[in-house]
Structure 1
Amino acid sequence: PERRPFAPVPYFWSDQYGIKLQAYGLTAGADRTETTVLDRAARSAVALYGRDGSATGILAAGLPPRQVRALRAVVATPLPWEEARARARAVLAPA
């Protein structure tokens, strides 16, 4: 297999009023944001951040760990905005 240099994805998390917030990638400096409310009662939502036509970061609120890890992959490598948006929607689609 081809070796690639380690490229960390910026990450932070916080627990606020019983809701876990987790962010991957870069959210600052975005010129485009799309927020999707998944379940108002459960207070879960996702925001996709982008700049110059590429997705740069994602912020998840109240999502299960498996979905958050899958969303990390959406911003771990630069993707065009529409492709990242489609991948994020696929991760969030009900099973």
Structure 2
Amino acid sequence: MLERKQLKDRTDVTFVLSADTPPGPVSVVGDFNDWKPGTHTLEPRKDGRRAVTVALPGKGVHSFRYLAAGDYWFNEDQADGHDGTNSRLHT
């Protein structure tokens, strides 16, 4: 799930997953962090889900995927679109 907060010069996007699916650590990896795993790792929230918030510049389109333990890559079902391999996000 994606939560968005539009601000004057950026969009704060919170990437949200359930607490245990998939199991183990998960990070969001995309063009906004040079595709570096571990830069934005989802952390537990009070509601039991895991999340991380990333500040993205004003208007743009970003590609991303999730990376879980065991080199398991997966996409966001609620993304704005997909470009084949990656999820797409419009800010």
Task: Tell me the TM-score range normalised by the shorter chain.
Answer: 0.3 to 0.5
Q: Which has the higher helix share?
A: 1
Q: Which has the higher strand share?
A: 2
TM-score, normalising length: structure 2: 0.34
TM-score, normalising length: structure 1: 0.33
Which has the higher Rg, Structure 1 or Structure 2?
A: 1
